[in-house]
Structure 1
Amino acid sequence: MKKILTTHKVSLATLLSILVSVSVISTLLILAISTYHLTKESLTSTYLALNYSKVEKMSHSVDSLFISMRTHLESTADFLERREEMTDQEIHEQLELLRSSSGYFNSLSWVDEMGIIRVNSPGGIGLEGTKIISGNTKDVLDARMPMLTTPYVGPSNQLLILMSHPIFSKDGTYRGIIGGTIYLQKENALNQILDNEASDNSGSHYYVVGPNGILLFHPQSQRIGENFDEHSLVRKIEEGQSGKEIATNVIGVSMLSAYSYVPEAGWGIVQQTPYSFVENLLLVELQQLLMRALVPFLLLLLLSIFIARKLAAPFNRLGTLVNQLAEGKPILQSEKEVLKEAHWNREADLLTKSVGMAFETIERNNQQLTQSAQTDSLTGLLNRRNLDEVLSVWSEEGRLFSLLVLDIDYFKSVNDTYGHQVGDQTLKMIAETLCTVSRKNDLCFRYGGEEFVILLPDTDSLSAYNVAEKIRRKVEKTSYIPNEILTVSIGISEYLKQTDSVTELFGFADSALYTSKVEGRNQITISSN
C-alpha cells in the first residue's frame, strides 16, 4: 500500500474533485433509480388506463354498429313480411336503398326458403337465380333465426361475415332470409370505425379478433386471417372478459395491453403500446433529470477545483513549466510571466526565482540554436532546410504557389577578380535586394553558392514573372561592386498547374533557369512543362 501511494501521486485538486464527484454522482444515482421506478409505475399505469379507455370506446362503437345493422335488417325483414305482394324488382330497390344509404353492408341478398338467391344488391354480378346448396349461407338459411356468422372466405376469396334475419309470411310460412355481407378488407361502416387511428408513431395499435381467434383487423393488413387463438389475451376474450395487463405478443415483444369483449359479435378488440416506448420515455426523463442536475454538479465541481488549485497553484505552475521545458515544448509569453510573479509562500517564491533564471539561460541558448538551424549564416536568409519544411507544408495543403530559382551571372569571376571577401559581401547585398523587392508574404532562401530561391504563395507563374522582372531590373541597376554590373538569370515554375511533385517543380524551375543562361543570361524564363 505504501509503495502504491509513493509511486502514484495524487494532486490536491484531483483528490478534492474526486471526493465531490463521488458524492454528487452517488446522490444522482440514488435519485435516478428512485425516479426511474416511480416514473415507470406511473407511465405503465397511465398507458394501460389510456389503452383500456380507448378499447372500451372502440368496443362500444363496434357493438353499437352491429346492433344498428341488426335493427336495419330486422326492419327490412318486417317491411317485406308485411308486403308479400312486392315483386323481385321492388325488393331489389328496397335492398339497394338500405345498402347505399347506411353504408353498413357491402352487399344485401334475399335468399328464399329453397336456397335460391332471388335478389342481390348491388346487381349485375350474376348471382340471381343461383341456388345455395352448402356453406355458411346454407347453414344460416337452415337455422331460420337471426345470425351473425364467424368470419369466412367467400367465393370472391375475401374474408367476410354474414348477418342475416329470417323472413316469414303472415301465416308463419318460412320465406328465406335477408342477408348482409360485410367484407373485412373493403370500405364499409365497420372499417371506417376500425381504420380510425389504428396506429401511431409510438408503436401503439389495436387489432380485432373473431370468436375463433382469427385476426379480423390489423394495421398491417397482410396479417388479417392469422390465428391468434393461442394468445393468452385472445383466450380471455373468448371467455367474454375485458381487462388490461402487460403481455407478450405473438412475436415475443412485451406490450402494455388492454382488451375488450364485443358482446353483439362475440369479437374482441386489443389495444397495445410497446413497453419499449415507455422505457424510452423513462430514458428521456432520466436524461432531463441529469441535465437539470448537471449545472449544479458542475458548479460544485468547479468550486472544489478552484479552491484546490488556489492551494497548489504555485507548485503546479512551476512543475508544468519545467516539464514543458524538458520536453522541448514552446512556452507562451503568459506562462513566462509566471516566473516573475511574487508568491506569499516563501518556498514557492524562492523556487520560482531559481527556475526563472535557469529558464532565461536555456531559452537564450535555444533561440541561438534555432536561429542557426533555420537561417543562412552569411546572408541571414532562410536556409535550404527551412525551404524543405515550407514546401512540405504547402504541398500537403495543396496550396497554389510559384517557385523562382535565381542565379547570379558570372559570379565566379567576382570571386576570382576581387576575392571571396568581396564575393561574400556581394551575396549579402543581393540578399537584401531580394528581401526589399519581393512582396511581404514572399519567402526568400539561399539555396547554395550564388543560387537563391523565392517562394511566392497564392501566385501563378504570370504574376511571379512580374515580381521576378522587378528583381532582375533592381539587381541590374544596383552598384554592388564599383565599375561592375551584376545581373541575374531566373527560372519560374508553378505548383499544381505544372505538377504536384515538389521534386519535379524544382526540376522545371532549374530547366527554365538553364534556358535563361543559354539564351544569354540576365533573363527570366517560365517553365513550359
Structure 2
Amino acid sequence: MGILKSKFLKLNRLILFLAITATTLTFINSFYSNYEVQREQLIFQATEVNRAYASKLSDTTEVFLAASRQQLEYTANILSDKMADDVFLSDEANRLKYQTDSFNSVVISDASGLTQAASPETLNLVGKQLNSAGSLEALKAKRALISKPYISTIKNLLIFISAPIFDDQHHYLGFLGGSIYLRKPNILSKILGEHYYEDGSYIYVIDKYNQILYHPQKERIGTFVNNNDGLDEIISKKEGGLLLKNGQGIEMLAGYASILSTDWIIITQSPLESTLLPLTGIMEKVILRTLPMTLAVFLFIWLFARAISRPLQQLAERAKSLDSPTVSEDIEKINSWYVESLSLKRAMLSGVKLIHME
C-alpha cells in the first residue's frame, strides 16, 4: 500500500489535483451564483411587469368609473325637473343603457324607492318598489355611491352605481342608478377580460372584503378569496408585488394595484414555474460560453503543473544514482527554471562532489 501511494502520489498529480479542485469549485460557485442572480432577476422583472400592468388597469378602471359617475350625475341634474315626465324618464334610461354600454341595466327611482323608469324594459320594474341592497343604500345615503356586490331583485350578482336627484331647492327626489352584472358580459370584463394568457397568467379583482368581482373563471365571481398567503399584504399595501401561493397551492408572482375610489384591488399574476422556464436556456448558454475557457484553464494548469514538477522529478530520479560517474552531467542538464529547484540542484551537485571526493 505504501509503495502504491508513493508511485501514485507524485508532485505533478498533487498540484494538478489541487488546481483542478480549486478551479472546479470556483466554477460551480460561479455557476450557482449566476443561476441565483438570473432567477432573482426573472422573478423581479415578472413581478414588476405584473405590478405595472395592474397599475395601468387600475387607472383605466378608475377612469371608467369616474366617467360613469359623471354620466349619472349629469343626467340626474337634467331629471331634477322631469320626474313627472314618464316618457322623458324612459328615454333617458334607454339612452344611458344603450349609448355607451357602460351598464347592464339602468333604473330611475323616486324618493320612496318606487321605480319610475328602467332599461331594458324586459326587467318589468316600472311601478314596483325597489328593495335590493343597492337601492336601499342609495335611498338612505342620498349621495353618489358605488355599492358592494349583492344579489338584485331579479337574482343578478351586481354592483350598483348611483347618483341622487335633487330639485332646485335641494329637495331629494330619488336616484338614478346603473347596474353592472358581474356574472354576465359587462364593461369590466371588456376592460380586463382580454388579458388571459396561455402560460397560466390571469387577472382578477377583489373588493375590500376579499370578494371576487372579476375572474376569468366565472364560477369564482362572487366567492371570497381563501387560502392565499399573500392576501394580507395585498390588502394592507394596496400596490406592489410579491411571490405567493394561491388557493390551489400554486406559486404565483403577483402584481397588484388598488382603485382608490372603490377600495377594489386589481391583481395580475403569473405562475412562477412558467416565469422560470427561460432560466434553463439561459444557464445552458452560460455553460456553453464558459466551457471553452474552463477547458483552456484546465489545460493551462496541467501544462504548468508538469513544468513545475518536471525538474523536481528529474532531480529525484538522479538522487537514486548519486554514485554514478555521469550523475553530475545528468544533473547539470536538468532545467531548473525556478528558485527552489535551482537551489536543490546546486545542493545535489555539491553532495555529488563530496561523494566522489570520498
Q: What TM-score does the superposition give when structure 1 sets the normalisation length?
A: 0.51
Q: 1:389-428 maps to which residues of 2 (within 5 A)? A: none
Structure 2 equivalent of residue 65 of structure 1: 64
Structure 1 equivalent of residue 211 of structure 2: 214
Structure 2 equivalent of residue 42 of structure 1: 41
Match 1:132 to one of 118, 130, 139: 130
| Cα deviation digits, residues 111-159 of structure 1 (max 9, x gap) | 1122221211111332212212453322322222111110112344432
Q: What is the CA distance between 1:15 and its match in structure 2?
A: 11
Q: What is the CA distance between 1:299 and its match in structure 2?
A: 7.8
Paired amino acid for 1:69 = S
Structure 1 equivalent of residue 242 of structure 2: 245
Q: What is the CA distance between 1:188 and its match in structure 2?
A: 2.8
Structure 2 equivalent of residue 33 of structure 1: 32
Change (3 A) 1:236 1:300: closer
Match 1:281 to one of 278, 283, 297: 278
The 1-side partners of 2:4 and 2:284 are apart by 38
Q: Is the 8 A contact 1:214 1:229 kept in 2?
A: no
Q: What is the CA distance between 1:209 and its match in structure 2?
A: 0.2
The 1-side partners of 2:215 and 2:3 are apart by 70
Q: What TM-score does the superposition give when structure 2 sets the normalisation length?
A: 0.72
Paired amino acid for 2:30 = L
The 2-side partners of 1:265 and 1:105 are apart by 17
The 1-side partners of 2:149 and 2:118 are apart by 20
Change (3 A) 1:278 1:124: closer
| Cα deviation digits, residues 146-173 of structure 1 (max 9, x gap) | 1111011234443210011111223333
* Residue identity (%): 27
Change (3 A) 1:261 1:132: same
The 2-side partners of 1:224 and 1:3 are apart by 80
Q: How many residues align?
A: 305
Match 2:168 to one of 167, 170, 183: 170
* Structure number, greater radius of gyration: 1
| Cα deviation digits, residues 32-76 of structure 1 (max 9, x gap) | 112112212322222222111111111111111111110000001
Change (3 A) 1:245 1:145: same
Structure 1 equivalent of residue 55 of structure 2: 56
Q: 1:1-40 maps to which residues of 2 (within 5 A)? A: 1-2=1-2, 25-40=24-39
Q: 1:312-461 maps to which residues of 2 (within 5 A)? A: none
Q: Secondary structure at the match of 1:150?
A: coil
The 2-side partners of 1:240 and 1:292 are apart by 43
Q: Does 1:269 align with 2:269?
A: no
Q: Is the 8 A contact 1:237 1:267 kept in 2?
A: no
Change (3 A) 1:236 1:66: farther
Match 2:148 to one of 147, 150, 158: 150
- Segments of structure 2 that go 5 or more residues without pairing to the other structure are 303-358
Q: Is the 8 A contact 1:40 1:278 kept in 2?
A: no
- Segments of structure 1 that go 5 or more residues without pairing to the other structure are 306-529
Q: Which has the higher contact order (CA 8 A, sep 6+)?
A: 2
Q: 1:443-482 maps to which residues of 2 (within 5 A)? A: none
Structure 2 equivalent of residue 88 of structure 1: 86
The 1-side partners of 2:3 and 2:120 are apart by 97
Q: Is the 8 A contact 2:132 2:153 kept in 1?
A: no
Structure 2 equivalent of residue 225 of structure 1: 222
The 1-side partners of 2:272 and 2:280 are apart by 13
